[in-house]
Structure 1
Amino acid sequence: MSQAIVFVHLFNDCSGSPKVLAQVATALSGKGIRTEMLTSSWGDGPLRGIADTERTVFYRRSENRYITLFFDILSQLHLFFDCLRYLRVDAVFYINTMRPTGAMLAAKLMGKVVVCHIHETSIKPLLFKKLLRSVVSLCASKVVFVSDYLRKVEGFGVDDERVIYNAIAKSLKPKRDKQSAFGVLMACSLKTYKGIFEFLNVASALREDQCIQFTLVLNAEADEINEFFQDVEVLGNVRLLPRQTDMSSFYADASLVLNLSKPDEWVETFGLTLLEAFSFGVPVIAPEVGGPTEVVREGMDGYLMDSSRVAEIAEKIQEVAHDRSEWERLSLNAAKRADDFKLSVFDQRVTSLMSAKLRAL
């Protein structure tokens, strides 16, 4: 009987969850077990070129909710029947997010070990979320959460549930030669619940301050962005950019990174952009609920503020932008905080998670 770890993720884009799965797959490679990656051909994310074998699964998105639902049903059916090929393979299924239900059900039917890596909590509608949760509860042998907050609100009652914080590949020394302009960066999906309009409102509040410039990098194509903002006034102190395959230069040029997700619509369960900012010695402003509270130390490497407090956020940005010593203190602390999320620690925890199965194989 052949042996494999099968990684499953639906949409291979540049968001946080595929980045984390790429790190998991890298950590488990070279262990003497064949690795296989099942993901969509749609998307230009980080899941290519990691596993020994790659298989494409059907996945599409649409602005029409009914078409999206139809595509989702098709993708789950495709996943279910495609995964049945592993009936005679001694395989562990590593499922990323709650959504690949077809793979979970097929693995359960075949009697395989199922590990679910959970990143999300804000799934709508509620009935859909309940369906996803029921499949995870039925199929999962092990569950990994990206934060303790997520474990507490989404626990499934599985015997082996643990928290493995996301990690960054490396920490870089803070840049001390920041230009005269104070760069405020936010990178997020093209969704209103990510605080896009709050970001524009903060920029508008500081439009008279020539020293502060804003950059918004959206996980979308240029035509999608143009359509979204066609009736929205974007001031001259804001730069809008489409999806980027490498964000390094943006973090390197930033002085402050924002995460303005609206907690009443979308609770951040970790906030990988915060950690990426820390790796460049960039302080942050993030929501005061959810996973960011486990990453950001209030007043040390950033601030925890509700995105609805636009005036207060703008005031805090201006305060830090014009106090060089305060920015340097935050920056140094941010770089030190990044060391708490080293990739080596992540690799060790992922390997420990799979150790019993790895020994058996």
Structure 2
Amino acid sequence: MKKIIFFHLLNDYSGSPKVLLQVIEAVAKKGFEAELYVGGGAEGGFLSSAPCVQKRYFYKRFENKYLTLLSYSLSQLILFIKLLRYRHASAIFYVNTLLPFGAALAGRVLGIQVIYHIHETSIRPRPLKLFLRWMVERCSSENIFVSHFLAKAESFTNIESRVIYNSIPQNMVSSGANHVYPYASGNKFNVLMICSLKAYKGVNEFVRIADLLSGQQDIEFNLVLGASDSEVDDFFSSVTLPDNLTIISRCKDVIPYYQRASVLLSLSKPEEWVETFGLTILEALSFGVPCIVPPVGGPVELVSEDKEGYLIDSNRVEDIAAKLAFLHKNPEVCFRLSEAARVKSLSFSVDNFESDVIEVFNGV
């Protein structure tokens, strides 16, 4: 049985390492030998609990984008050199996201099979994206895409590809199955968004929507961010936050927030960042939480208009605020959307995810 060696650039609490953790857990259940190479220091993230041997390589992010690019380039050179030790190994290189190209290049040089798990399409600057696609074309033997949208948007000729939809962990599935959608928890209509602290994720739009509805005392907003307290303070240093908004940083357990949520917002700005799946959307659906999401990309494979929620561009903050006010006044609509949301989530089961992942390795 071949050893599976996984590669990821940065361990944090975002979607791609969360999905990779599930892949590693799936192969561990089947008895595969696995290792994980992850860049960065000892910061916590989903991959910290991965059931495999973990090894680190250099990577550091900076405020200056040019320093970050230099750090990234150096990290991949270091990774490439580290991997030359596998020249006689019977292994598979599993590259999570397009970014760890050093692993793919090492696999090509050593004659080791490379599998890419592709999560993203919005990579900047454009020359970097073109280079990373070129590496995939030269090094990959199979590509896994997280949605049909992404498979079409980032197709590669002459490389076998398949779509494996993301799923959610079993503990979250169980919590969602036992959850009773509250509509208004504690007599508060709760609007939730969970994302990384990036402007292109619609963080500023979420604040504006909260401000537009600040006059309605029984509507509250929770913004759960994958960032430290200092990063949050820096980001909002020049912003006056409305009183109805609570910001939660570096949250390891989001289940309590889904349990209180009346509606989930996903506000990624398509002109800057297209969501290729939307893991937080699926998580919310599993708790029966209606969602308002962008009308492009992977989210449209999760949410249909006026069924599990609504499709509204994040730039239309007034329209989103009006829709929230409508839902707040119409609980029967919320309950109808909630029922459809829970049904839709069943199509993305962890059992399907794990069987699809194992099929990839059984075929090599």
- Residue 17 of structure 1 contacts residue 97 of structure 1 at CA under 8 Å; is this kept in 2? yes
Residue type matched to 1:175 in 2? V
Aligned partner of 2:209 in structure 1 is: 202
Deviations 1:339-359 (A, max 9, x none): 1111000011111122122xx
Partner Cα distance (1:245, 1:342) in 2: 22
Deviations 1:223-261 (A, max 9, x none): 111011111110101111212111111111111110011
Residue type matched to 1:22 in 2? L
Matched, 1:316 2:323: yes
Partner Cα distance (2:158, 2:103) in 1: 18
- Residue 143 of structure 1 contacts residue 158 of structure 1 at CA under 8 Å; is this kept in 2? no
Partner Cα distance (1:317, 1:11) in 2: 35
- Residue 274 of structure 1 contacts residue 284 of structure 1 at CA under 8 Å; is this kept in 2? yes
Partner Cα distance (2:281, 2:123) in 1: 22
Partner Cα distance (2:335, 2:199) in 1: 32
Residue type matched to 2:180 in 1? K
Aligned partner of 1:142 in structure 2 is: 142
Aligned partner of 1:76 in structure 2 is: 76
Q: 1:85 to 1:240 in 2, by over 3 A?
A: same
Aligned partner of 1:253 in structure 2 is: 260
Residue pairs, 1:260-279, within 5 angstroms: 260-279=267-286
Structure 1: where are the runs of 5+ without partners? none
**Which sits farther off after the overlay, 112-121 or 22-31?**
22-31
Give the secondary structure class of the aligned counterpart of 2:46. coil
Deviations 1:81-110 (A, max 9, x none): 111121121000110000001111001100
Residue 132 of structure 1, CA deviation: 0.5
Residue pairs, 1:273-352, within 5 angstroms: 273-352=280-359
Deviations 1:131-182 (A, max 9, x none): 0100011100000111111111111214311111100121424424432101
Q: What is the TM-score normalised by the length of structure 2?
A: 0.95
Residue pairs, 1:5-24, within 5 angstroms: 5-24=4-23
**Which sits farther off after the overlay, 22-31 or 265-274?**
22-31
Partner Cα distance (1:286, 1:56) in 2: 36
Residue type matched to 1:162 in 2? R
Residue type matched to 2:85 in 1? R
Residue 42 of structure 1, CA deviation: 4.0
Give the secondary structure class of the aligned counterpart of 1:89. coil
Residue type matched to 1:107 in 2? G
Aligned partner of 1:175 in structure 2 is: 180
Aligned partner of 2:24 in structure 1 is: 25
Residue 291 of structure 1, CA deviation: 0.4
Give the secondary structure class of the aligned counterpart of 1:227. helix
Aligned partner of 1:38 in structure 2 is: 37
Partner Cα distance (2:27, 2:208) in 1: 44
Residue pairs, 1:52-63, within 5 angstroms: 52-63=52-63
Aligned partner of 2:99 in structure 1 is: 99
Aligned alpha-carbon RMSD (Å)? 1.3
Partner Cα distance (2:359, 2:194) in 1: 32
**Number of equivalent positions:** 356
Matched, 1:242 2:249: yes
- Residue 256 of structure 1 contacts residue 283 of structure 1 at CA under 8 Å; is this kept in 2? yes
- Residue 260 of structure 1 contacts residue 307 of structure 1 at CA under 8 Å; is this kept in 2? yes
Residue type matched to 2:6 in 1? F
- Residue 174 of structure 1 contacts residue 335 of structure 1 at CA under 8 Å; is this kept in 2? no
Partner Cα distance (2:5, 2:279) in 1: 24
Give the secondary structure class of the aligned counterpart of 1:116. strand
Give the secondary structure class of the aligned counterpart of 1:180. coil
Q: 1:230 to 1:9 in 2, by over 3 A?
A: same
Residue type matched to 1:66 in 2? Y
Partner Cα distance (1:258, 1:44) in 2: 26
Q: What is the TM-score normalised by the length of structure 1?
A: 0.96
Residue type matched to 2:340 in 1? N
Residue 33 of structure 1, CA deviation: 2.8
Give the secondary structure class of the aligned counterpart of 1:331. helix
Partner Cα distance (1:91, 1:11) in 2: 22
Partner Cα distance (1:121, 1:132) in 2: 11
Aligned partner of 1:126 in structure 2 is: 126
Structure 2: where are the runs of 5+ without partners? none
Partner Cα distance (2:203, 2:50) in 1: 33
Q: Which runs of 4+ in 1 moved over 4 A?
A: none
Aligned partner of 1:4 in structure 2 is: 3
Identity over aligned pairs, percent: 44
Residue type matched to 2:38 in 1? T
Aligned partner of 2:160 in structure 1 is: 160
- The correspondence for 1:355, drawn from 332, 339, 362, is 362
- Residue 11 of structure 1 contacts residue 42 of structure 1 at CA under 8 Å; is this kept in 2? no
